[in-house]
A and B are shown apart, each in its own frame.
Chain A
Amino acid sequence: MFPSNSVGLVQTQTFTFAQDEPFALESGATLSPVTLAYEAYGRLNADRSNAILVCHALSGGAHAAGYLTPDDAQPGWWDDCIGPGKAFDTDRYFVLCSNVLGSCYGSSGPGSVDLATGQRYGLHFPVVTIGDMVRAQVRLLDHLGIDRLLAVAGGSMGGMQVLEWAAHHSQRVRAAIPIATTARHSPMLIAFSEVGRQAIYADPAWNQGDYYSNGRRPDAGLSVARMVGHITYLSEQSMHEKFGRRLQGRERYGYEFQTEFEIESYLKHNGDKFTRRFDANSYLYVTKALDYFDPAGQHGGSLAAAFEHAADTAFLVISFTSDWLYPSYHSKELVRALTAAGCDVTYLDIESSWGHDAFLVEVETMTRLLGSFLERVRGEV
């Protein structure tokens, strides 16, 4: 039914906490209750030492591997790397993934119902940070009885969560694997986030975030936001190779304002597809969390100081040569800071033409790298 190296049929579970005592957020606001959706693959060993937490990126969810129904066409978002014999080998490791706070795949977010009013939160949902997302994950681990993770791994925004784990919860992490990520958004990256948000604000259907009961959703705005994002996930070279200047279903220019180039059609298709699976308000919340993330800023501007308690954590930092969203020099800066903090750092800038998306595509290299690295840290536990 499913490929033999698949984790097979999986189920998303939920964990709800902070019913009695509200969950305090970095902003000073509180949230109660808090629900996290999560999935788990593989088996937790007797001494509970083989757990790996996988953190998802901006638009991901808890469904990282396997299939939700017997006739599910699409496996989870990191199925290439999670399963028997894969990079995160479920024959050896207990792999967990939870949907971040503020998102729309089962965890508490702006689309959840506020028990105080009986209405969906919309913009009444408090602004959350990467730090809040990770502290919620800590609560999930407490619930599951896992004191210490063998590793925490993730790409892009998942990598930020990895860094947050290492900076603030290092005693609970043996190894940290930040992939294609950055320790802070530069002004240019904040600018890209803001264009996406402005596209949503500008859609009349957005209605200040209050659209859940209107029957109309800000699809046009969310679609443009996704298109802008998508451009930053590709590279000039991969666009050249995939689309060139080819026209979609026609021989010559029409001298009109229709979708003509293949790249236009591809972006539009991806934008439309995204509106069917993601909530515009969640897009606002999650991109805001990306922009706020700044561990160095929390430590007097010193990134090394942010990791001064992580000297016992082994790091595997991975970047990709054609990633221009979070370019290699962001990772190199991180590696420098970790080195200065006395951490054990392995770093590789993988040659790839796939841009930021490479972390989902360069499966073979990643499998070798992650497999060996995890094998080592497992042996050292």
Chain B
Amino acid sequence: MVAANDQQAAAYAALRPDLQAVADLTPAGAKVLDLGCGDGALLAYLVRHKQARGRGIELSEAGVMACVGRGLSVRQGHLQEGLADYPANSFDVVILSQTLPFLDDPAAILAEMLRVGKSALVSFPNWGYWRCRLELLLTGRVPLAPDLPQHWYDAPRWQAVSITDFAGFCQQVGIAITREIYLNRGRRARIIKVKNLLATTAVFRLEKATQARKM
């Protein structure tokens, strides 16, 4: 039992900090869909250590190969077309980690996530972080996202979003943020008040506002 716990602790420690937060917010035994699951590190952790029933959607062949290598069930494809195939409420949790800035149609994807899943877990980098603001002010260059390496020219789509932007959007379309975890350069930060200034990454649990009120 101790060995199993050690194994879990090691697997947890190996996860990217925002994925640790996502794992914390995923209930044990949940049915999980991970969008853009990459090499499957998070999904494998959830399946092995949180008894999740995991599924993934991933665009790259290398990612799908890695996931199958880990014994995961993953479909190759675009998120939009992949999501459309699932009946409503097929999953307890739909995950979108550090992918928001690269989506063609974020509003549609978020709506689909909350159709297919009872809740969504979203992590994204915060361009409202004070260093980003300062960099734009002082150098006139649009800053990189705090926790993402890509430049604007590296990806087909790259939209800069801050926590305030995202929260405002959620309110506008009737999405409730029911849990929030903030990271500052990889560490958990208790900064509810000045989060848009101090957080480098936000991890939110989202639900449909009507559903959240009932709970």
Contact = CB atoms under 8 A, between A and B. Distances in A.
Interface residues of A, number: 24
B69 A336 contact: no
A340 B85 contact: yes
B108 to A, nearest CB: 18
Interface string A146-157: 000000000000
A236 interface: no
Interface stretch (B70-78, B95-103, B196-204): B70-78
- The residue in B72, B73, B86, B87 that gathers the most chain A C-beta atoms within 10 A of its C-beta is B73
A348 B71 contact: no
B113 interface: no
Interface string A343-381: 011111111000000000000010011001101100100
Contact of B68 (A332, A336, A342, A372): A372
A348 B64 contact: yes
A345 B75 contact: yes
B65 interface: yes
Interface in B98-130: none
B71 A379 contact: yes
A340 B61 contact: no
Number of contact residues on B: which range applies?
A: 10 to 19
B86 A348 contact: no
A379 B74 CA distance: 17
Q: Which of A339, A349, A350 has the most CB of B within 10 A?
A: A339
Nearest to A345: B75
Given A336-B85, A365-B65, A372 B77 contact: no
A347 B69 contact: no
B65 A348 contact: yes
A372 B69 contact: yes
Contacts of B87: 340, 342
A349 B68 contact: no
13 contacts: A314-B73, A332-B77, A335-B75, A335-B85, A344-B55, A346-B68, A347-B64, A347-B75, A348-B68, A368-B68, A372-B68, A373-B68, A375-B71
Interface of B: 55, 61, 64-65, 68-77, 81, 85-87, 90
Interface of A: 314, 316, 332, 335-336, 339-340, 342, 344-351, 365, 368-369, 372-373, 375-376, 379
